Amino acid sequence: MPLVPMKAILDATETYNYAQGAFNVNAVCQAKAVIEVHEMFRSAAILQGADLANAFMGGRTDFANGTLEDKKKGAQNIANAVKKYAENSPVPVALHLDHGKNFESCAAAIAGGYTSVMIDGSSLSFKENMELTREVVKYAHERGVTVEGELGVLAGVEDHVFAATSTYTNPMDAVEFFKKTGVDALAISYGTKHGANKGKDTVIRKEIAIATKECMLHEGIEGTLVSHGSSTVPQYIVKEINALGGDIHDAYGIKKEQLKEVSKLGIRKINVDTDIRLAVTRNLRELFANAPMLRESASIGAIYSLLEANPSAFDPRVFFPPIMDTVMYGNVPDEDVALIVDCIERGVKEVVGTLIVEFDSVGKAGLIENVSLDEMAERYRRKGI
């Protein structure tokens, strides 16, 4: 089926009281794996391409320096892959831009085929954040595209998103933000943290989520709360990476029990990226440990060299440059590259499948309304948002 606006998936989570995982992808085969594992569990799927993931998928291996043109190309590549695997899928699929840096990045993603965008104005003043978000909402809603904003600042590092300390979201500010921007979803800061180093005993402040949702209900506001920086950082995977020559320390995530709890308290979309990165990196290291002859492979030996040169890295984009044609377009030229693709897909399915179960979206694909972007645009127009 065609991609659905993310709002259709979020509306079901609100009605039936569960959460939907949202999973970041940086390669065609990752998109394929995310969709396939959601099909297995009969769950709707939200795939996310971060702003800089679009630059990477546009062929910019130094993605931190990606241009708008790189991002346009990459957004098209990601959207083409997601549409390809969603076309005959029995589950609804949405494609969401994670941490859109500015209006232009959001517009580029929409032009590429994204059905939802996030505009991250959290580093701006409250007023400037609302103004920028409202601008994106107006543009996106005219096209039926869902919009997510962010209020409050999460500590940690993820691509170009970084902050030393957190600023918690004020529930009353969240109410005003929803009212004045018309945004569909809002990422709040309530104790989660970007990256793999969230702290060993991090406790998220569920009372912020509860208070925000209660204020929204009191004011009759329709909207969804989102949890960023919510990877669980499975300790068994970290240990396995280190046993295979990696050097990752002080890597701790949000406990799954806490995420399960807030999924029933108003948090309906939970973003996960780091867990996928870790599982894929572990599988790559394992492949070369178990098959040493592949270290000399003409097509993938350079991946091994990058793994050896970067023991503390766990972002697969560090290791993918030798196979960019495979990353960007899904081409698999030989058996050795096929082994790498298998590592990537198995890693994705391992962590994504676990969280589909934990967040309680198993079997709920049939609850999602199959609405088109044009139909959603007309609904927004009637509501004046």
Residue 34 in contact with residue 28, Cβ under 8 Å? no
d(Cα 4, Cα 24) in Å, to the nearest integer? 17
- Kindly give, in sequence order, each residue whose CB lies less than 8 Å from that of residue 94, ignoring residues fewer than 6 positions away: 3, 4, 5, 6, 8, 9, 44, 45, 46, 47, 115, 116, 146
Give helix 126-141 / helix 103-112 axis angle, nearest 10°. 20
Count the alpha carbons within 13 Å of 41 in the hemisphere toward its beta carbon.
24
**For 43, phi and psi rounded to 5 degrees?**
-115, 145
- Looking at residue 337, its amino acid is V
Radius of gyration of the chain, Cα coordinates, nearest whole angstrom: 20
Q: Which of 34, 11, 66 is nearest to 273 (CA)?
A: 34
> Do the strands 161-163 and 156-158 form a parallel or antiparallel pair, or are they unpaired?
antiparallel
Residue 34 tokens, joined: 């995310």
Q: Which of 200, 80, 101, 95 is nearest to 150 (CA)?
A: 101
Active-site residue identified among 51, 70, 98, 315: 98
Instruction: Report the SS3 class of residue 14.
Output: helix
Please confirm, yes or no, whether 315 is among the known catalytic residues: no
d(Cα 385, Cα 370) in Å, to the nearest integer? 21
Element (H, E) at 146: strand 146-151
- Kindly give, in sequence order, each residue whose CB lies less than 8 Å from that of residue 250, ignoring residues fewer than 6 positions away: 197, 200
Catalytic residue IDs: 98
